[in-house]
Amino acid sequence: MKILVLGQGAREHAIIKSLIRTGTPAANIFAAPGNAGIAEDAQTFATLDPNSPTDVTAFAKEHGIDLVVIGPEAPLVTGVSDALRAEGIAVFGPSQKAAQLEGSKSFAKEVMAAADVPTGMARECRTIDEVASALDDLGAPYVVKADGLAAGKGVIVTDDREAALDHARKFIDMGILVEEFLDGQEVSLFFLSDGVSVQALTPAQDYKRAYDGDAGPNTGGMGAYSPLPWLPEGFVEEVERTVAMPTILEMARLGAPFVGLLYCGLIITKRGIRVIEFNARFGDPETQVVLRRLVTPLAELLHKAAIGQLQGAPVARFAKNVAITVVLASEGYPDSSAPNRPITGLTEAESNEHIEIAHAATRLEGDELMATGGRVLSVISMAETFHHAREHAYKAIEKIHLKGSHYRKDIAKKVADADNDGKPGNDSEGNN
């Protein structure tokens, strides 16, 4: 099977590494546009625009691609999956209409209301006056979300009313949702879907704030870990029953069958499980830890979902070992970034058998590896315990040199320190 992976981040690199690890020959994997790390594991095509339905479809036909895996949200929103399906090419990624579950938070709220999926109260706002009124009605902490794609930076959770209004002003053109603050533990849970059925992967938890102790602004994600030993028994089954399946059935009723990866961003509150958000693709950095633990052939799972035969797919199995990932970010991230700086030390960092590095913002200039800004690398560690996984991860990341870079030092620390008797592993703020 020839597989084309669209995207250029650590998520896509993690998908490619998992495909290879679970049985797909590297020679059968194509990537566009890719990055410096992906180019070491697959054939990359930097000039192919992943957001162009026409270009991607032509490439897939020319190269005899059997399955296209769409990594980021942008190609979904531009209708790449629709164009591929129109040509009979299997694609793991929802249609343009179904991708509205991520592309429009107000649409997602409407779907959840129709499907009786538990979530927080929300007010849709089109003017700053409406935002101000909603903030006063729902109260602090204030939760303000851009009603559209914002690269993981469209959400603010703050006690500062003026900061909430300032955030709304940045995104008012795409619409704003002011939501009820939900307090509790956050969980990311991925479901494969073929439009009529789902299969759960393993839960993970990510760290959205830039700095230790959940300080600083929201980011695209600074780290993650899996599994979550503190989750209550039956959690995955409950989410499948009350969230994933009702959502998939409602999407089918709307004439927009959801085929691809349904990312359920959840929070466990005192009143039970609530949905914070849906994404229409693999999350980053959770993918790095979820797929690092996957044992079942990933290509078969994705292909079965893409062709509507998920019920005939093998059940996804995961290693007993735990995994964590720590993101190395460029100077100034997330407010700005410092591109075109050399990176060294990766060979030494990857010499540890427990370590795998997924590239995000990297490129080669001659023989020199350069950071291109933002989140640069994900250092992934797998071991028997969280204590050992953390030890390996942080020893590895200390060997990587990138001027001005930063990373969180508390990824999975609390779960490593806990007795694994149900204690939460991270002081998650909620609504991120």
User: Could you tell me if residue 251 is inside a domain?
Assistant: yes
Query: 252 and 218 in one domain?
Result: yes
Three-state DSSP at 277 gives strand
Query: 376 and 303 in one domain?
Result: no
Query: 287 near 207, Cβ under 8 Å?
Result: no
* Rounded Cα gap, residues 298 and 123, in angstroms: 39
Per-residue pLDDT tens for 214-241?
999 889 999 999 999 999 999 999 999 9
Query: 331 and 300 in one domain?
Result: no
Q: How many CB atoms lie within 10 A of CB 418?
A: 15
CA 350 to chain centre: 23
* Rounded Cα gap, residues 201 and 224, in angstroms: 15
Q: Is the dihedral of CA 235, 237, 241, 244 positive or negative?
A: positive
Write the DSSP symbol of residue 137: H
Which of 74, 92, 110 corresponds to the end of one domain?
A: 92
* Rounded Cα gap, residues 32 and 209, in angstroms: 29
Three-state DSSP at 75 gives helix
Query: 279 and 350 in one domain?
Result: no
Query: 53 and 140 in one domain?
Result: no
User: 43-44 and 29-33: which strand pairing?
Assistant: parallel
pLDDT of 283? 96
CA 92 to chain centre: 15
234: domain CATH number?
3.30.470.20
Three-state DSSP at 160 gives coil
User: Could you tell me if residue 63 is inside a domain?
Assistant: yes
User: Could you tell me if residue 24 is inside a domain?
Assistant: yes
Give the Cα-Cα-Cα angle 375, 378, 384 (nearest 5 degrees).
Answer: 155
* Rounded Cα gap, residues 335 and 345, in angstroms: 26
Per-residue b or e along 163-191, where b marks 16 or more CB atoms closer than 10 Å to that residue's CB: ebbebbeebbeebbbbbbbbebbbbbbbb
Query: 188 and 302 in one domain?
Result: yes
Inter-CA distances, 337 with 277, 279, 340, 402, Å = 27, 25, 10, 12
334: domain CATH number?
3.90.600.10
Give the Cα-Cα-Cα angle 171, 175, 177 (nearest 5 degrees).
Answer: 95
User: Could you tell me if residue 113 is inside a domain?
Assistant: no
User: Could you tell me if residue 268 is inside a domain?
Assistant: yes
pLDDT of 425? 45
* Rounded Cα gap, residues 10 and 30, in angstroms: 15
User: Could you tell me if residue 317 is inside a domain?
Assistant: no
Query: 266 and 187 in one domain?
Result: yes
70: domain CATH number?
3.40.50.20
User: Could you tell me if residue 423 is inside a domain?
Assistant: no
Which of 137, 160, 179 corresponds to the end of one domain?
A: 179
Peptide bond preceding 227: is omega within 30 degrees of 0, i.e. cis?
yes
pLDDT along the chain (432 residues), means of 10: 98 98 98 98 98 98 98 95 98 97 91 96 92 93 85 82 94 91 95 98 97 93 98 97 98 97 96 95 97 98 98 97 98 92 97 97 96 96 98 98 98 87 43 50
129: domain CATH number?
3.30.1490.20
Name the residue type at position 116: D
Query: 213 and 159 in one domain?
Result: no
Query: 292 near 204, Cβ under 8 Å?
Result: no
Name the residue type at position 259: V
Query: 156 and 197 in one domain?
Result: no
CA 337 to chain centre: 21
φ, ψ of residue 193 in degrees (nearest 5): -140, 140
Q: What is the DSSP string of 272-313?
A: EEEEEEEESS--TTHHHHHTTSB-S-HHHHHHHHHTT-GGGS
Classify residue 149 as exposed, middle or buried by CB count within 10 Å of its CB (0-12, 13-18, 19+): middle
Name the residue type at position 263: Y
pLDDT of 427? 38
Give the Cα-Cα-Cα angle 311, 99, 206 (nearest 5 degrees).
Answer: 80
Which of 70, 92, 114 corresponds to the end of one domain?
A: 92
Listed in sequence order, the DSSP H helices in 116-180 are 128-138, 161-171
Could you give the number of structural domains in the chain?
4
Query: 287 and 190 in one domain?
Result: yes
Write the DSSP symbol of residue 30: E
How is the beta sheet containing 272-279 ordered, strand by strand? 198-200, 185-194, 259-269, 272-279
Query: 281 and 252 in one domain?
Result: yes
Range of 204's domain? Answer: 183-312
- Crossing angle of helices 161-171 and 128-138, in 10° steps, is 140
pLDDT of 113? 94
User: Could you tell me if residue 109 is inside a domain?
Assistant: no
Query: 288 and 263 in one domain?
Result: yes
